[in-house]
Amino acid sequence: MSIVDNGGWPMLGKQRRISGVAVAAAFGTLALLTGCGSTPAAGKHGAKPTGSRATATGSPSSSVSPADLKPIQGQQLRHYLLTADDLGPGYTQTATPDVEKAADPHRYDDMGVSGCPALKELGKHSDEVQFAAKTAAGFTFGADSTLGEELHSDSPSKLSAGLRRLMHAQTSCPTYTMTSGSTPLTVTVRKEDAPGPGPDAYAYTTTLTGPGGSQVLKTAAVRRSNVLVMLVGAPALVDRHIEAAMAKLPAS
């Protein structure tokens, strides 16, 4: 499951809290499309970096080429998460970075998307955008602003290909409809300037409109080496902290 989750419909209007539906819309991840997100998979990918493959912080040793980098797992990956101290005064952490405990795989069974073939196609090939390891954190700022962060780790080539496919699917439909139960939510997506140089940096804004009003979220995603960072939340907060999130990633 993805980051900060209130377990239900977005709280539209004055309180802009990221719920499960809003996160799925902003990330376009598998929480909605397949009922599961990327999870640590040591058995599938073989594992935590050991020996000459990585240093104690997950950085590659000088003898390892970028193509050979292994996924960073557990506490090593959490090392790259933003903290409330990184963000500054006024921020409170609201979500634990420990997402290795599986969420209910059926909690999104009543959610669906229509009007965006690319997202539906992505759901048919979900394994192509599931990565070996993941961790997350969420923060609130003031009374009604929220910022969430996800980190994923895998080989650089798999992260690059998966992120490219994910971003293409999410931004290929300017407007589509998402439903939770029988309640429709109109989703409008707009591409934004990439938050950094290179091919593996993306940003877009998502406007979710439902019976109670509208909610605007921004998503920024950047890959560095074998770690991918995604920030989602109030556009001003994402813009303010994406550089700090990128600065904590391992060197390319």
Domain boundaries, the chain: 20-47+66-247
Q: Answer whether residue 189 shows pLDDT above 80.
A: yes
- The Cα 252–Cα 239 span in angstroms is 22
DSSP strand E in the chain: where?
91-95, 111-114, 133-141, 145-153, 175-180, 183-191, 201-210, 213-224, 227-233
What residues form DSSP beta bridges with 82?
A: none
**What's the predicted TM-score (pTM) here?**
0.77
Output Rg (C-alpha) for the chain, integer angstroms.
Answer: 17
Dihedral (C-alpha) 68, 74, 75, 79: value to the nearest 10 degrees? 60
CB burial string 157-177: b at 16+ within 10 A, e below:
ebbbebbebbbebbbbbeebe
Q: Are 114 and 200 in contact (CB under 8 A)?
A: no
- The per-residue pLDDT of the chain, averaged, comes to 75
How would residue 13 be classed by pLDDT, with cut points 50, 70 and 90? very low
Q: What are 149-184's pLDDT values in tens digits?
A: 999 999 999 999 999 998 998 899 999 998 877 778
The predicted pLDDT at position 40 comes to: 39
**How would residue 113 be classed by pLDDT, with cut points 50, 70 and 90?**
confident
Mean pLDDT (whole number) for 77-91? 95
pLDDT bucket at 207, cuts 50 / 70 / 90? very high
Say whether 4 sits in a helix, a strand or coil.
Answer: coil
The hierarchical CATH code for the domain 20-47+66-247 is: 3.40.1000.70
- Write out pLDDT tens, residues 116-149: 998 888 877 776 678 899 999 999 998 888 899 9
Tell me the β-bridge partners of 220: 203, 231
Mean pLDDT of 94-106: 56
Model confidence pLDDT, tens digit, residues 19-62: 555 555 554 443 444 334 444 333 343 333 333 333 334 444 44
How far apart CA 22 and CA 118 sit, in angstroms, is 18
Q: Rounded mean pLDDT of 58-85?
A: 76
